[in-house]
């Protein structure tokens, strides 16, 4: 395997996230079937916990693996949303050059949504399951230390407290150091990605609104249908010969109501959350792009500084090189991630919209039969 | 039974035209005139087509015709006219009488009315009806000359009879209840249907927005672009399809409306019976009291308290001659009364018999028509669903190619 970067600079192999090995692994990944995967994670079995201070839900996270990094082939732990949130933050900190999948929304307006309703818990469970599966599929993120701990540790809280002080300081410093530099020129492809993401979120937002509006209209239609059916029944009671057909119509309308209800439910539970998830995804991707910009800016500033000084300080070039390194890393990682993301997204939407079409088809078929 | 007119003649209301003219109060007005075309069916041998006769009539003339028929044949359930003003509208339908869709539906309703009258065994033989179809000028005068307005029962009289009648035929009472409830249930149905149509329209139209947004989205995508674009097109098709669907449903609504108005015709027959029965009862009562009076005068006993009795007690009795005269008059009146009662009884019985025969005919017609209407409604719904399946299957295919 060729471990050098495209521009010939030897790679600092102390960092596990070297881009070319990444790219190679990527290519392998694309050919991977489900059978050759070595890590499987599922989220299920939500349970409610009532404590004196608060009530919350935990989910069971089950892991099956053949990877050497893991001591056991199987793990089963309980995690709550907080833990997922912690994991995500850790991943963002430790892999700032990668696109981290989004989590379902953290805050829900109390009173509007019931946090403990079956539908809400189920929607959240699905989203959390997807979150972990995406990480599992990622060639770099799935090997992240925090991820492994998340999957295996019996007492996550203890570990959290341990790592908190150290890592948070480091994380902060990374942020502040790269702030305050102005970007000279953004490579076209990243500008294009930025524009794309902007338009993409916009369009998804519109689709979300349209879908919600449709659901609302369908529900209002349902209300009227519910009144419509029984009138035929009343009429049927009035007639002699016509009572059978009239009752028949009434029953049919009743069936239509049920089918329509199911359609709306399915749309709310399956379609809308995925849209929202991708919007969140786009948001976090834009943040990563910003960070990338900053890293590049820093690199360029330092380069300039060196050119001005014309000194042969061994430190600076290394510094500059390190920056360049990071930039290249960043760029490559991003590109790779974007490609995966696009692929996945395409498949997700394909499934999603096909699902929507399917549901509508089912609805109509049910109505036909009625 | 003679063949009814409908079998001998093709009748159509083929066109509608906007006209302006001056009305009775010399005020300029716009109205719609309808072209009635008739053609004899018999002479279609050897490929020869009979000539088409035609004339123009406006809605008010149809009304006049119907009023005439209702008064002249009170024992018949006279077919109703299509509504005068647009009722049970939902937001897209206009309530304007001049709206072309409304005019078109009215044209169909008027044709239906003429066909119903022409296929009725009794009504089709009416001369005024025939003249309505064939004679453009002077028809109004002809109708008025029949003096039918004089025969019409006053509303007040009818109302009075309804409240006071003691022994109406039970079947008519039941029929009246039935028509009340029928009217109520059909109008409820039509109201809700209008709301349902409104909502359904909304659902379909919002899907059109998908078309636009998919198109915009496809512009920024590479592999997904084509799929999104074509799916968007199908969404547009879906949104547009609702217009035709709902137009077809209006015909169904019109069929229901006809029977809604028929309920009023049924009630009219019941009212006539009540009126006749009441008349009968009053005549009988009158006769009884006259007989009694006669008896009292003859025997000189006052059985019931009466003002006459009192005054005669107070102011002295009549002379025997006066009494004789009175008795004679009363006896004449009683004779008349008995004959009248006999004929009224006969009339009443005839009315009940013929009315009931027509009602049975009507019931069969109603059951047949409504069954067909319901079936065609179901067929409409199925076809709507099939279209929906088609569109979404197409969309699904587009998505699968993404």
Helix (H) or strand (E) holding A334: helix A315-369
Instruction: Please indicate if any CB of chain B lies within 8 Å of the CB of A210.
Output: yes
pLDDT band at B263, cuts 50/70/90? very high
Chain B residues touching A207 at Cβ < 8 A: 210, 213, 217
Q: Give the pLDDT of residue A14.
A: 35
Q: Does A353 touch chain B (CB under 8 A)?
A: yes
* Residue % of chain A over a pLDDT of 90: 0
* Candidates A200, A235, A361; nearest CB to B189: A235
Domains of chain A: 35-157 (3.30.1520.10), 180-369 (1.20.1270.60)
How many beta-carbon pairs below 8 A join chains A and B? 126
Tokens of B78: 């006279």
pLDDT above 70 (res A322): no
Question: Which of A18-22, A99-103, B161-165 ranks highest by mean pLDDT?
Answer: B161-165
pLDDT for the residue numbered A45: 86
Which of B88, B91, B191, B196 should we substitute to test contact with A (largest number of A Cβ atoms within 10 Å)? B196
Phi, psi of A79 (to 5 degrees): -135, 150
Given a cut of 70, whether residue B300 has pLDDT beyond it is no
Nearest to B207 among A214, A350, A358 (CB): A214
Q: What's the confidence (pLDDT) of residue A23?
A: 39
The pLDDT of residue A277 is 76
Query: What integer pLDDT is reported at residue A313 of this predicted model?
Result: 47
Q: Tell whether the model's pLDDT for residue B286 goes beyond 80.
A: yes
- Digit-coded pLDDT (tens) for B232-248: 888 888 888 888 888 88
pLDDT of A116: 73
Closest chain B CA to residue A229:
B189
Altogether, the residues listed in chain A come to a count of 370
A 7-66: CB under 8 A from B: none
Contact A324, A204 (CB under 8 A): no
Q: Which of A199-203, A326-330, B283-287, B355-359 has the lowest mean pLDDT?
A: A326-330
Which has more confidence, A365 or B319? Answer: B319
Which is more confidently placed, B323 or B354? B354
Task: Please indicate if any CB of chain B lies within 8 Å of the CB of A116.
Answer: no
Q: For chain B, which domains are there?
A: 168-299+320-401 (1.20.1270.60)
CA distance B13 to B33: 10
Question: If you write DSSP's letter for every residue of B117-157 in order, what string do you get?
Answer: HHTSTTGGG-HHHHHHHH--TTHHHHHHHTTHHHHSPPHHH
Provide, rounded to the nearest whole percent, the portion of chain A with pLDDT above 70.
58
Best-predicted range by mean pLDDT (A31-35, A294-298, B82-86) = B82-86
Residue pair B177/B267 in contact (Cβ under 8 Å)? The answer is no
Measured between beta carbons, the chain A residues lying within 8 angstroms of B382 are: 368
Residue A41 has pLDDT above 90, yes or no: no
Taking a C-beta distance cutoff of 8 angstroms, is the pair B132, B139 a contact? yes
Percentage of chain B modeled with pLDDT above 90: 20
d(CA B83, CA B61): 14
B39 to chain A, minimum CA–CA distance in Å?
36
* Secondary structure letter of residue A10 according to DSSP: B
Q: Hey, are the CB atoms on A220 and B216 less than 8 Å from each other?
A: no
Per-residue pLDDT tens over the stretch B195-233? 988 888 888 888 888 888 888 888 877 766 777 788 888
Written as six digits, the tokens of A219 are 């529900």
Q: What is the mean pLDDT of residues B269-282?
A: 90
Q: How far is A222 from chain B (nearest CA, A)?
A: 8
Query: How confident is the model at residue A4, as a pLDDT?
Result: 40
* A244 Cβ under 8 Å from any chain B Cβ: no
Say if the Cβ atoms of A221 and B220 lie within 8 Å: no
CB contact under 8 Å between A354 and B203, yes or no, is no
pLDDT recorded at residue B362: 93
Predicted local confidence at residue B169, as pLDDT: 87
- Are A267 and A222 in contact by the 8 Å Cβ rule? The answer is no
Q: Å from B149 to nearest chain A CA?
A: 35
pLDDT confidence tier of residue A71, bands split at 50, 70 and 90: confident
Q: Provide the pLDDT for residue A30.
A: 42
**pLDDT single digits (tens) B361-400:** 999 999 989 888 888 888 888 788 777 777 777 777 777 6
pLDDT at B301 (0 to 100): 63
Mean pLDDT value across residues B168-193:
91
CB-CB neighbors (< 8 A) of B211 in chain A? none
Mean pLDDT is lowest, of A328-342, B71-85, B170-184, for A328-342
CB < 8 Å to A218, chain B? 203
Tens digit of each residue's pLDDT (9 = 90 or more) over B103-145: 888 889 999 999 999 989 888 888 889 888 888 888 888 888 8
- Looking at residue A6, the DSSP 8-state letter turns out to be T
In this predicted structure, the answer to whether residue A181 has a pLDDT above a threshold of 80 is no
Q: Which has the closest alpha carbon to A115: A215, A207, A48, A195? A: A48
pLDDT at residue number B358:
93
Q: How far is CA A158 from CA A80, A83, A161, A164, in A?
A: 15, 12, 5, 10
The confidence band for A171, taking pLDDT boundaries of 50, 70 and 90, is very low
Query: Average of pLDDT values for B284-313?
Result: 74
Contact list, B370 vs chain A (CB under 8 Å): 242
Whether the per-residue pLDDT at A7 is higher than 60: the answer is no
- Separation CA A69–CA A104 (nearest Å): 29
Tokens of A237: 């009671």
Do B367 and A196 count as a contact with CB atoms less than 8 A apart? no
Measure A210 CA to nearest chain B CA, in Å. 7
Long-range (24+ apart) CB contacts under 8 A made by A344-349 are: A344/A134, A345/A278, A346/B223, A346/B224, A346/B402, A348/A274, A348/A278, A349/B224, A349/B399, A349/B402
pTM here is 0.75
What's the rounded mean pLDDT across residues B48-66?
A: 85
A249–B392 C-beta distance less than 8 A: no
pLDDT score recorded for residue B180:
93
Please report the ipTM that was assigned to this predicted complex.
0.80
Backbone φ and ψ for A106, nearest 5 degrees, come out as -80, -50
Flag whether residue A220 sits within 8 Å of chain B, measured between CB atoms.
Answer: yes
What pLDDT, on a 0 to 100 scale, did the predictor assign at position A27? 39
Mean pLDDT across chain B: 83
- CA–CA distances in Å: residue A103 to residues A117, A284, B141, B338: 19, 10, 85, 98
Query: Mean pLDDT lowest for which of A212-216, A275-279, A344-348, B342-346?
Result: A344-348
Query: What average pLDDT does the segment B88-112 reach?
Result: 76
Check CB contact under 8 Å for B202 and A242: no
Given CB atoms, is A219 within the 8 Å cutoff of chain B?
no
Which strands make up the sheet holding B9-22, listed edge to edge? B9-22, B28-40, B53-58
In this prediction, residues A194-198 reach a mean pLDDT of 78
pLDDT band with cut points at 50, 70 and 90 for residue B159: confident
Cβ within 8 Å of A, B 64-123: none
Count CA within 13 A, CB hemisphere, residue A263. 29
């Amino acid at each position: 395997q060729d471990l050098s970067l495209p521009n010939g600079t030897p790679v600092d192999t102390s960092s596990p996230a070297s881009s070319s090995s990444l790219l190679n692994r990527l290519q392998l990944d694309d050919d991977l079937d489900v059978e050759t995967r070595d890590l499987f994670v599922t989220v299920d079995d939500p349970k409610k916990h009532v404590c004196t201070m608060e009530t919350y839900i935990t989910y069971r996270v089950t892991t099956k693996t053949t990877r050497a990094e893991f001591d056991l082939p199987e793990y089963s732990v309980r995690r709550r949303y907080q833990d997922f949130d912690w994991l995500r933050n850790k991943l963002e900190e430790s892999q700032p050059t990668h696109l981290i999948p989004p989590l379902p929304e953290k805050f829900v307006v109390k009173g509007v949504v019931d946090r403990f309703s079956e539908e809400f818990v189920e929607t959240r469970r699905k989203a959390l399951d997807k979150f972990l599966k995406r990480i599992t599929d990622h060639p770099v993120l799935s090997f992240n230390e925090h991820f492994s701990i998340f999957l295996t540790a019996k007492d996550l809280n203890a570990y959290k407290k341990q790592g908190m002080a150290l890592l948070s300081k480091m994380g902060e410093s990374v942020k502040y150091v790269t702030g305050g530099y102005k970007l000279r020129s953004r490579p076209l492809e990243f500008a294009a990605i930025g524009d794309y993401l902007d338009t993409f979120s916009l369009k998804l937002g519109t689709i979300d609104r349209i879908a919600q509006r449709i659901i609302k209209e369908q529900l209002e239609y349902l209300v009227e249908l519910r009144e419509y059916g029984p009138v035929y029944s009343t009429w049927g009671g009035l007639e002699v010969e016509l009572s059978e057909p009239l009752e028949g119509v009434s029953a049919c309308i009743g069936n239509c109501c049920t089918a329509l209800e199911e359609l709306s439910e399915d749309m709310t539970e399956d379609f809308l959350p995925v849209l929202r998830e991708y919007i969140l995804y786009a948001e976090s991707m834009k943040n990563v792009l910003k960070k990338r910009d900053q890293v590049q800016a820093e690199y360029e500033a330092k380069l300039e500084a060196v050119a001005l000084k014309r000194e042969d300080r061994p430190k600076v070039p290394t510094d500059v090189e390190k920056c360049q390194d990071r930039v290249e890393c960043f760029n490559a990682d991003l590109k790779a991630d974007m490609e995966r993301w696009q692929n996945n997204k395409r498949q997700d939407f394909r499934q999603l919209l096909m699902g929507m079409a399917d549901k509508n088809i089912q609805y109509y078929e049910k109505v036909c039969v009625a | 039974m003679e063949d009814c007119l409908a079998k001998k003649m093709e009748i159509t209301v083929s066109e509608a035209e906007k006209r302006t003219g001056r009305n009775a109060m010399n005020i300029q007005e716009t109205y719609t005139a309808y072209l009635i075309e008739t053609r004899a069916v018999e002479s279609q041998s050897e490929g020869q087509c009979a000539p088409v006769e035609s004339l123009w009539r406006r809605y008010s003339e149809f009304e006049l015709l119907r009023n005439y028929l209702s008064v002249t044949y009170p024992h018949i359930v006279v077919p109703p006219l299509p509504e005068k003003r647009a009722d049970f509208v939902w937001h897209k339908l206009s309530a304007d009488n001049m709206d072309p869709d409304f005019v078109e539906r009215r044209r169909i309703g008027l044709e239906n009315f003429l066909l119903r009258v022409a296929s009725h065994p009794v009504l089709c033989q009416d001369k005024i009806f025939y003249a309505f179809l064939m004679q453009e000028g002077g028809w109004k005068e002809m109708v008025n000359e029949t003096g039918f307005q004089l025969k019409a029962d006053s509303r007040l009289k009818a109302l009075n009879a309804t409240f006071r009648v003691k022994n109406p035929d039970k079947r008519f009472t039941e029929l009246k209840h039935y028509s009340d409830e029928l009217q109520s249930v059909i109008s409820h149905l039509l109201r809700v249907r209008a709301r349902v149509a409104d909502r359904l329209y909304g659902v379909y139209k919002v899907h059109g927005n998908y078309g636009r947004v998919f198109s915009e989205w496809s512009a920024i995508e590479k592999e997904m672009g084509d799929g999104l674009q074509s799916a968007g097109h199908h969404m547009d098709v879906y949104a547009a399809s609702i217009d035709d669907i709902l137009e077809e449903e209006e015909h169904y609504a019109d069929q229901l409306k006809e029977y809604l108005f028929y309920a009023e015709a049924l009630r009219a027959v019941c009212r006539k019976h009540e009126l006749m029965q009441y008349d009968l009862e009053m005549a009988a009562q009158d006769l009884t009291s006259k007989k009694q009076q006669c008896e009292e005068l003859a025997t000189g006993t006052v059985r019931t308290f009466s003002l006459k009795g009192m005054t005669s007690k107070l102011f002295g009795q009549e002379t025997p001659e006066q009494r004789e005269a009175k008795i004679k008059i009363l006896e004449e009146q009683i004779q008349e009364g008995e004959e009248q009662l006999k004929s009224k009884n006969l009339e009443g019985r005839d009315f009940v018999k013929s009315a009931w025969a027509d009602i049975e005919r009507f019931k069969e017609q109603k059951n047949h028509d409504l069954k067909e209407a319901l079936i065609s409604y179901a067929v409409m719904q199925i076809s709507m669903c099939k279209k929906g399946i088609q569109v979404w299957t197409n969309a699904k295919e587009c998505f699968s190619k993404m």
